[in-house]
Amino acid sequence: MNPAESPAPTSPATCPVCSSQAATPAFEKEGFSHFACRDCQAIYLFPVPSESELSDYYVAKEEETKSSQCWEREEHDYRHYEAIWDEALADIERRAGRGPLLDVGCGGGQFLAFARSRGWTELEGIEYAPGAAEVARERSGAEVHSVDFLHSGLAADRYAGVTMWNVIEHAPAPRDFIAEVARLLRPGGVYVADCPNRYGVTMRFIGSSAYVVMPPEHLTYFSHRSLRRLLEGGGLRVEKLASNTIYINDWVRFLKKPQAESEARQQHLSWYTRFTSSKLMLAMIGLANVFLNAARLGDQMLIAASKPAPRD
């Protein structure tokens, strides 16, 4: 075990986010038990699969994972998120300059390619799945490390920005992930991440039937409270915490109930194309995100946090 790593919880009552002992059973899905922390409001899977089991799942069965649908998408499949990506890059540049940028769990490299298109040149990624890492290299031209994040060996205090797009929910030990982020960021550097919102409209109404509830890939579902507590407990200063987006994919799967995975993915992309096919539709999505954020009902939480400089 890495000395910086916290021991895995040995009881389902121990929350991996805040270490509270106030957890109760939440639901089961596909043979995996989930528990809800009454303190920080996170939902988490217990027991967490072992490191070797997760390695086998993400590497040996890479193309069978549900996450692989994200790796397969082209840059234009993220049109609805470009404004959020632009804002994230602006936050990093404003606070820490346009320095080295590390995208953890970079998948097929769509965000890295986007950052390069916006003039960022010092780009690195981490992607554990080797096939996705190779796609990311080709798409973005970035240096992509196909390693485990917690054992990457990358230099401390180097990066102006560390990003994680739909990654922290995959972390077996989320506190260790944030400790590593803090180690890698230079003073004043910015961490930007998004993840599913356990109180978003989709999980509120569909519950454990939502596609986003995908054990053993997603291990923790954060609330605003638990995400803030995670970052502040890791020594980062939360600058922004918002929510946005409705998971079209989940609703298409829930309402239309396609029989095959390939059919489900095609239906999702078809609906997505309809919703992002014009500037007017993208503007309407932006307005919807204003409401979703105000009501804290967005399916996706977005957080930006900085590493305090010594003078702070």
The pLDDT tens digits of the residues spanning 221-280 come to: 999 999 999 999 999 999 999 999 999 888 988 988 877 777 776 776 777 677 777 888
What is the structure's pLDDT at 256?
83
What is the structure's pLDDT at 284?
84
**Choice among 175-189, 211-225, 271-285 with the minimum mean pLDDT:** 271-285
Give percent of the chain above pLDDT 70.
Answer: 88
What contacts 108, CB < 8 A, 6 or more positions away? Answer: 70, 71, 72, 73, 132, 135, 136, 139
With a cut of 70, say whether residue 170 has pLDDT above it.
yes
With a cut of 70, say whether residue 61 has pLDDT above it.
no
Q: What is the CA radius of gyration of the chain?
A: 18
Contact 301, 226 (CB under 8 A): no
With a cut of 50, say whether residue 37 has pLDDT above it.
yes
What is the structure's pLDDT at 2?
36
Give percent of the chain above pLDDT 90.
Answer: 68
**Choice among 63-72, 248-257, 276-285 with the minimum mean pLDDT:** 63-72
What is the structure's pLDDT at 69?
55
Q: How far is CA 42 from CA 8, 34, 85, in A?
A: 16, 10, 26
**Average pLDDT value for residue range 114-119:** 96
Residue with the two structure tokens 């939360």: 238
Q: Centre a 10 Å sphere on the Cβ of residue 20 and count the other Cβ atoms it contains.
A: 15
Contact 141, 176 (CB under 8 A): no
Contact 88, 304 (CB under 8 A): yes
What is the amino acid identity at position 20?
S
Phi, psi of 310 (to 5 degrees): -50, -35
What is the structure's pLDDT at 76?
54
What is the structure's pLDDT at 73?
57
For residue 4, what pLDDT band results from cuts at 50, 70 and 90? Answer: very low
114 vs 120: CA distance, rounded Å: 9
176: which 2 tokens?
Answer: 């260790």
Query: Domains plus CATH for the chain?
Result: 66-306 (3.40.50.150)
Residue with the two structure tokens 């605003």: 224
What is the structure's pLDDT at 80?
80
What is the structure's pLDDT at 60?
54
266 vs 26: CA distance, rounded Å: 32
70 vs 165: CA distance, rounded Å: 11
Residue with the two structure tokens 């528990």: 35
Q: Helices 248-256 and 261-275 meet at what angle, rounded to 10?
A: 130
**Average pLDDT value for residue range 4-30:** 81
With a cut of 70, say whether residue 146 has pLDDT above it.
yes
Cis peptide before 100, with omega less than 30 degrees from 0? no
With a cut of 50, say whether residue 1 has pLDDT above it.
no
What is the structure's pLDDT at 89?
97
Residue with the two structure tokens 């038990």: 33
3-state SS class at 285: helix
